[in-house]
Structure formats: structure tokens, C-alpha cells
Amino acid sequence: MTEDINKDAAARMGKSIEALNHEFHKIRTGRAHTSLLDHITVTYYGAKMPLNQVASVTVSDPRTLSVTPWEKGMIPVVEKAILESDLGLTPNTAGGVIRIPLPPLTEERRRELIRVVKHETEQARIAIRNVRRDANSALKARLKDKEITEDDEKRAEDDIQKLTDKHISEVDSLLVAKEKELMEV
């Protein structure tokens, strides 16, 4: 009777961790990687499209990304979208290829990125705790409707707490790994 609540909570907590991983991929370290530009959208024939659907994005060397739009007319649009993004990158156009050099991270910028990472981690913790609260509310509603006993409710709450602790420790280990990655020179 309580397994469905437990499965739903586990799935939703897992999605919170996936979202945190996705946010971490946006935060750059000293190395170039194509997922850095995943959240950039460009206007393509009047519609907003992700950059990777109008151009190929490749890593040409550890500090440089190359973007090759599939249409020549898209070069200025893609360049403008990269400039206006929150990444602070300056693209250089050479023919049909846009090169994006990644400047080395300063100590100050690394510390700033760690603050951002900690904020994202806290948001993930809050999301996981909200899932726990929702699951416990569902259990209390079932107890009130006499669908489960008090013992079943207590056991299920303990299971949900263990699930919460497991996911929060996973979030914490992701934070430690990302901090270590950011502080590498």
C-alpha cells in the first residue's frame, strides 16, 4: 500500500539529482566541453532553437570550442547568442567557423563558481526535502482515510527518511567532486 508512495518519492528525488547534474554541466571548469553551450538558444526562422540543433559544436583543443552553423546566414545570429549568454565568452569568427576560446579561470572566478555550485546544491537538497514532505503528507492522508495502520505509516516514514538521507548524501558527494574539479589548476 505504501510502496507506490515510496517509488514515487524515489523517482522524484532521482530527478532532482539529474537536474543538479545538468546544472553542474553548465558550470565550466578550466576545460572546454560541448555541454557548456547546451542551454544557449538562437532564433532560427522565427523559432527559438537550441544551439546544437542549428550548428555542430566540437572541442578543437582543451581551451577552445568550435561552432559550425549549418547555414552561413546563421553565423551572426549564433555569435550574438553566445555573446549575450551568461557565460562571459567572446566568439571569434573565421570563415564559416566560430571559435570560442575559454580564458583560464582566475582564483576569484573559481571561488565565485563554487558559490554558485553550493547554491545549486542547496536547491537540490530543498527539492529532495519537499519530496519527503509530500510523501509524508500522502501517508498521513492514507492513515486518516484508514487505508493503512499507524505502524505501516511509521515504517513508511522511516523508509522515506532513509531514501532522503541517501539522496542528500549523493548530492553532497556531487558537490565535493565539483568543488575539487573547479579548484584544479
> Which CATH class name applies to 3-26+106-183?
mainly alpha
pLDDT digits (tens, 9 = 90+) for 86-112: 677 788 888 888 888 887 777 887 888
Residue 59: exposed, middle, or buried by beta-carbon count in 10 A (0-12, 13-18, 19+)?
A: middle
What is d(CA 77, CA 151) in angstroms, rounded to the nearest whole number?
A: 62
Domain with CATH 1.10.132.20 in the chain: 3-26+106-183
Domain with CATH 3.30.1360.40 in the chain: 34-101
SS3 5: helix
pLDDT digits (tens, 9 = 90+) for 115-159: 888 998 999 999 999 999 999 999 999 989 988 888 988 999 999
CATH architecture of 34-101: 2-Layer Sandwich (3.30)
How many helices and strands (H and E) does the chain possess? 4, 6
Reported pTM: 0.70
